[in-house]
Structure 1
Amino acid sequence: MTGRYYGGKWGVYLRAPDLWFELLDRYGHRLVPLGEIADVWRGTWGGKDCFFYPRDASAECLAAHPDPADFEAQYGLPRADVASGRVKLVHCGEERGEIRPIEAEYLEPEVHNLMEIRSFTVSPADCSRMILLVDKPKSDLKGTHVLHYINWGEEQQYHQGASCAGRVSGERPWYDLTGHVRGAMFWSKIHKYRHIIPLNDQRLTGSNNLYDVLPKHEIGPSVLAALLNSSLVVLSKFQYGRYAGTEGTLKTEVVDVNMTPVADPGQADPEVLLRLEQAFVRMRRRQPISFLSERTFSEPALREAGRETELNALPNICELDMPDRRDLDDAVFEMLGVESAQRRRELIEELYACLRELFERNRVMEWRTNINKRIAKRRGAAKPSEVAAEILAEIKAKEPHLLQAYDPGFLDPSKPYDTYELPSVGEPSQGPLAPHIVEFRRGKKLIGAVHTKNTAQDDLLVFLARSGVRGLVRVPHDEEECRRVYERYSDFAGRRDERLRKLIQDRTADEEMQGRISDILTTLLTRSS
């Protein structure tokens, strides 16, 4: 591979099969890091899934209440508004316990993860959730259902979360997720037994579980999608990604995806590219299936239970048995310069053998972990406080820089500063009626007000309070120095919070549990700093 440097992974040399090195040695000059031929970036991050990604409840509500009067009594709006599609009723809130109306113009289908995708192309029909997209200030939303929805979210204090609060700027309210550039296809952050890089022909929005991918250099989206769905890329991602936990789950960050080697379409013969696209067209006509057959997947559990005789009744077909996939992979190897059809068949067989072994090994790993989890569950599930304490201990041992405090870590006490006392409770905001005042409110009740020297101090104090820094707080007296400190600390806090989210997500997929752990961990970090 030649061209711009995209990093490296020393772990590849420890875990890659011999075939990987053979391919690099012989055909590496025909491979490029994906980052050279495509842009890759993260999907949208709301910060509160149960608010930003509601589920459409319109159809079930219409079916449950056919009588208009009964419907309006139940949901507080005319049935015709929902039946016409102008307004949607959505499941929202903690454990989705609420049903609320939102104008359809502020909602779009959202691809939350690839578990619900049943094709090599995504469509609105695949989306079980929607995304709230509101780019207007509240003053322009008077008389709308979406304004009531936003106010309800604030009553639940969703806007006080680190991600929501960090989104706020002079022109951007906490609820505004608009402006995200949409890619031509999606790459999943998490991978198990399927490999799907679906085309996004309709330019749907993806969540932060997905990465948007957009080809460069006039490369067609269908060509790039075909390459990324090849079995060679499946092998590549396992070399450049990393396992999350002990369940055989692969996690790929943006940097990993950018480094992943793919066949270079810029060096390919047009006829070969056409053959590649045609194979992918055939793949798009069917559903993607697992790289592990149902029989192989069930084998560890059935053998443990002494029921191995049931294995023969289970299907033994997997993605590697699909003729269109073999055609696609054959075209990829021809792109790499393997002219002999016989040699391409041999390489495909070697590649498929490697992948079968890899996925079978991951399945055994997952099965063993699940057994251990069942044993642990019988002993009692871990509490949020226990998980938070475990994460804090890991941070202290391995990443102590995350414990850096605002003062003195970012404040230079040798320079003039002012000291303010921030209330221990209340949501901070800049005073709406007078400059240089930071107000703290609980709901509509004013808890306290801090009079500052300049706007830069306002911004810094609001951010510090939202980050958990309360009590006596020192901030630079000089306005320019105050802005500099704000930029440095907000950058650190953003990177720290992103790392904390990853540590929490590595331990639980339950959104409610994640929120509780995050709240406790924030308190623990404040005490430890």
Structure 2
Amino acid sequence: NSDPTAKFKTEEAILHEELRVFDQILGESIVELQKGKQKLEQIPLNIQPDLYGEVDATKLTEEREKIEHKKRKIEEEIERLREIRGSLAEPGKKPLVWDIDFAEIFGDKGGFDIVIGNPPYVRQEKIAPPNRLRNEISGEDKRQYKEKLVRSVKTHLLSVKNIDRKSDYYVYFYFHGLSLLNEKGVFCFITSNSWLDVGYGRDLQEFLLKYVPIKAIYDNQAKRSFEHADVNTIIALFGAPQEEQRGQYKWPALSNTAKFVMFKKPFEEVLNSENLIEIEMHSPDEASLFPRVLNTPEFRVYPIKQENLLEEGWEYPEDQDRSLLKGKFESGRYVGNKWGGKYLRAPDIFFTILEKGKGKLVRLGDIAEVRFGIKTGANEFFYVEDVTERIGRTELPRIQNQRHFRSLEEIAKAGLRVIRPSKFGKNTKDYLLFLVEAEYLKPVIKSPRELKTIVVREDDLKYRVIMCHKSGEELRKEKAFILDYIRWGEKQAYHKRPTCAGRPRWWDLGIRECPNIVWVKSTDDTHRQGLLPPNTLVDQRLYEVYSQSLQKLIIALNSSVFSLLKELEGRANLGEGVLDTAVYEAKRVEVLDPEAINGDQELLNVIEQLSTRSILSIFSELGLDQTRPIREQEPNPLPDRKALDNIVFNALDLTQEERKEVYWSVAELVKNRLEKARSV
């Protein structure tokens, strides 16, 4: 610098002064944070006593936890600033600290007016320190870097409780971008759409629903945003994060209405002020006479309150009665929701069903009990074949506890059953047999293959499950035959397996209320749920459903409308394109309320007809050829299938064209799911 009046004459001098100022700012920030921490420590716990002069211990604990949480956040920020301060000694490594480098923005306005971004698409397994060579980075380096990312987010956004470590890189950019806004700021990102549907998007979804006004999420079914990128994208438009408030839930964004917008033509053809204004103005409330869904030739808008979105993805404790809760969200947790599959990519008929189903569609978990089937921990012991009527005299020596019996007739007269443990496969030559009392055997459905019609036939069930709730002492006094079988099981060390060892009596699966409907957890191209015979139990590979509206609910659960809703709620990430539903997804999938179904005799006739034949693939049921374009064909459902569907169609008041749309749409969803799996 040739200016003789210049204070700093070299670049080195300028850098030195910049680092000095930077160090001073960081030091002052640390001091202010320490003062803030001291103030927190001095805050009195001001909990008002009740009429009897007693202080609510729960509220006292909550207040203490809030203060401790704030102190921890301050300590984390102090540690972060100290790390930054320490790095100043390394030449060329001056870090970017937003509120210092952009002091005029954060000092005067509290943050940016708008944050726009297209963050990098980096899968979680490839996230690594950006300032290190790839061949120098270890797995531990990656883990530590992810932990730093998480700590950084939690420091800037105190309301963030967790971030799934399987999150792709761009998810962290969402949180950091939102933290840079002032209170009136606007956030706009274009990113992969995966967070809308996959598990790691849960934490971002929950944070947005509780604290961030979701203005709109835009997708385009006609044209991908990036032609050469192997990723499908959405545009996210949000407001700034809001502070917690005192009130019913304390989450400030629940009253906001989020809009899911699917454009049907390329952006360059439909992005104009007229369309954007129409989208912005479409905000029907629950009592509106206008349809909730705005559907035009150019776009579709589905508005929904964030409180409703949170409730759709909320899972309550398995054993807790919803009717006993004081209010929503007081127990349980948010488990995620399929925003993309349900509100952006779903076929138009889905929204027609939602519109016409107002007051008629309910979540399955609200009208029926849905739970996991039996987890035995030792199927080889608990699942047995009752071979009493199938064995011959030559097999008597195989019975290990024959005692004084000398013939099969004597055994039958004593009311005992002959069992073959499933440990011995059908081709095992050296199998063993046992005698047990009939009272300890219950029918069990173990495989979807045993559900052939919509009514489970006991003759189709291969196994019985051991259900014995008596103690060893009781069984010894009774000289029970099943005790011999239990002792044999202990010789096989089944009682040492973790699940069995965790029970008070390892052979006791507990008293269970028998379900009356079985839910197929994993579905290929055949949709069906089945009525169970009395006293029949269900294996963990399936789900148990208990309902008092039996015939009506089984009609609703086997309808093509329900198949469509189940396709949209489930996950097609298993091998061979199988559709999988977790218990929480089964609970929240919507179904026609049994109260909306009329015609008891008609129901019984349909159930009787369908109970006499096997349920076929969705394509055979609907009379559609899977190998041809679905919409070029006229649906021709089987007569009894059509009769069942008409009961549900009539309850929803669907037109003939809408009924065809249901058939086309569910067939397309199944076909696309299976073909996508084959294309990998």
Specify the alignment match of 1:86 in structure 2: 416
1:151 counterpart letter in structure 2: R
Distance change (3 Å), C-alpha of 1:129 and 1:56: same
1:195 counterpart letter in structure 2: H
1:183 counterpart letter in structure 2: P
Distance change (3 Å), C-alpha of 1:258 and 1:116: same
Specify the alignment match of 1:266 in structure 2: 595
Q: Does 1:337 align with 2:653?
A: yes
Contact 1:241 1:256 in 2 (8 A): yes
Q: Does 1:289 align with 2:616?
A: yes
Q: How does 1:361-372 map to 2 (within 5 A)?
A: 361-367=672-678
Specify the alignment match of 2:567 in structure 1: 238
Specify the alignment match of 1:469 in structure 2: none
For residues 191-247 of structure 1, the C-alpha deviation after alignment (integer angstroms, 9 at most, x for no partner) is 12222211124231111122222225xxx3101111111111111111111124231
Distance change (3 Å), C-alpha of 1:124 and 1:320: farther
In the TM superposition, residue 89 of structure 1 has moved relative to its aligned partner by 2.9
Q: Equivalent residue of 2:576, what SS?
A: coil
- 2:458 corresponds to which of 99, 120, 124: 124
Q: Does 1:182 align with 2:522?
A: no
For residues 252-284 of structure 1, the C-alpha deviation after alignment (integer angstroms, 9 at most, x for no partner) is 12211111111223345x44x654454334323
- 1:55 corresponds to which of 351, 365, 385: 385
- Indicate the larger mover: 154-163 or 224-233: 154-163
Q: Distance in 2 between matches of 1:71 and 1:110?
A: 25
Q: Distance in 1 between matches of 2:367 and 2:546?
A: 9
Contact 1:6 1:258 in 2 (8 A): no
Q: Equivalent residue of 2:530, what SS?
A: coil
Distance change (3 Å), C-alpha of 1:274 and 1:128: same
Q: Does 1:35 align with 2:369?
A: no
Structure 1 gaps, min length 5: 301-316, 370-529
Query: Where does structure 1 differ by over 6 angstroms across 4 or more consecutive aligned residues?
Result: 1-4, 294-300
Q: Does 1:18 align with 2:342?
A: no
Distance change (3 Å), C-alpha of 1:95 and 1:349: same
2:518 counterpart letter in structure 1: F
Contact 2:356 2:652 in 1 (8 A): no
2:353 counterpart letter in structure 1: L
Distance change (3 Å), C-alpha of 1:332 and 1:363: same
For residues 478-521 of structure 1, the C-alpha deviation after alignment (integer angstroms, 9 at most, x for no partner) is xxxxxxxxxxxxxxxxxxxxxxxxxxxxxxxxxxxxxxxxxxxx
Specify the alignment match of 2:217 in structure 1: none
Specify the alignment match of 1:209 in structure 2: 541
Q: Distance in 2 between matches of 1:130 and 1:244?
A: 32
1:107 counterpart letter in structure 2: L
Q: Does 1:107 align with 2:416?
A: no
Q: Equivalent residue of 1:61, what SS?
A: coil
Contact 1:31 1:336 in 2 (8 A): no
Contact 1:56 1:91 in 2 (8 A): no
Q: How does 1:382-461 map to 2 (within 5 A)?
A: none
Q: Distance in 2 between matches of 1:347 and 1:276?
A: 22
Q: Give the TM-score taking structure 1 as reference length.
A: 0.57
In the TM superposition, residue 90 of structure 1 has moved relative to its aligned partner by 0.8
Q: Equivalent residue of 2:572, what SS?
A: strand
Specify the alignment match of 2:187 in structure 1: none
Q: Distance in 1 between matches of 2:312 and 2:442?
A: 35
Distance change (3 Å), C-alpha of 1:113 and 1:367: same
Q: Equivalent residue of 1:159, what SS?
A: helix
Q: How does 1:217-232 map to 2 (within 5 A)?
A: 220-232=549-561
Q: Distance in 2 between matches of 1:60 and 1:87?
A: 11
In the TM superposition, residue 326 of structure 1 has moved relative to its aligned partner by 1.2
Q: Does 1:192 align with 2:524?
A: yes
Contact 2:443 2:535 in 1 (8 A): no
Contact 1:30 1:337 in 2 (8 A): no
Q: Give the TM-score taking structure 2 as reference length.
A: 0.45
Aligned residue pairs: how many? 333
For residues 346-386 of structure 1, the C-alpha deviation after alignment (integer angstroms, 9 at most, x for no partner) is 222111112222232333345456xxxxxxxxxxxxxxxxx
Specify the alignment match of 1:136 in structure 2: 470
Contact 1:265 1:335 in 2 (8 A): no
Specify the alignment match of 2:338 in structure 1: 9
For residues 450-470 of structure 1, the C-alpha deviation after alignment (integer angstroms, 9 at most, x for no partner) is xxxxxxxxxxxxxxxxxxxxx
Q: Equivalent residue of 1:54, what SS?
A: strand
In the TM superposition, residue 296 of structure 1 has moved relative to its aligned partner by 8.7
Distance change (3 Å), C-alpha of 1:33 and 1:277: farther
2:489 counterpart letter in structure 1: G
1:235 counterpart letter in structure 2: L
Contact 1:291 1:356 in 2 (8 A): yes
Contact 1:119 1:286 in 2 (8 A): yes
2:664 counterpart letter in structure 1: A
- Indicate the larger mover: 157-166 or 77-86: 77-86
Structure number, greater radius of gyration:
2
1:214 counterpart letter in structure 2: Y
1:73 counterpart letter in structure 2: P
Q: Equivalent residue of 2:669, what SS?
A: helix
Q: Distance in 1 between matches of 2:517 and 2:346?
A: 27
1:55 counterpart letter in structure 2: E
Fraction of identical pairs, as percent? 28
Q: Distance in 2 between matches of 1:87 and 1:293?
A: 41
Distance change (3 Å), C-alpha of 1:259 and 1:274: farther
Q: How does 1:54-73 map to 2 (within 5 A)?
A: 54-62=384-392, 66=393, 70-73=394-397
Contact 2:562 2:591 in 1 (8 A): yes
Distance change (3 Å), C-alpha of 1:99 and 1:92: farther
Q: Distance in 2 between matches of 1:82 and 1:10?
A: 60
In the TM superposition, residue 135 of structure 1 has moved relative to its aligned partner by 1.1
Q: Distance in 2 between matches of 1:138 and 1:29?
A: 53
Q: Which has the higher contact order (CA 8 A, sep 6+)?
A: 1
In the TM superposition, residue 88 of structure 1 has moved relative to its aligned partner by 1.0
Q: Distance in 2 between matches of 1:225 and 1:257?
A: 14
- 2:642 corresponds to which of 326, 334, 338: 326
- 2:482 corresponds to which of 146, 153, 177: 146
In the TM superposition, residue 26 of structure 1 has moved relative to its aligned partner by 3.8
Distance change (3 Å), C-alpha of 1:109 and 1:215: closer
Distance change (3 Å), C-alpha of 1:296 and 1:332: closer
Specify the alignment match of 1:256 in structure 2: 585
Q: Equivalent residue of 2:540, what SS?
A: coil
Distance change (3 Å), C-alpha of 1:118 and 1:245: closer
Contact 1:196 1:229 in 2 (8 A): yes
Distance change (3 Å), C-alpha of 1:357 and 1:158: same
Contact 2:444 2:463 in 1 (8 A): yes
1:154 counterpart letter in structure 2: E
Contact 1:119 1:284 in 2 (8 A): yes
Higher helix fraction: Structure 1 or Structure 2?
1
For residues 116-173 of structure 1, the C-alpha deviation after alignment (integer angstroms, 9 at most, x for no partner) is 222211232121011001111122223443222212222222122221122x23xxx0
In the TM superposition, residue 331 of structure 1 has moved relative to its aligned partner by 1.8
Contact 1:42 1:210 in 2 (8 A): yes
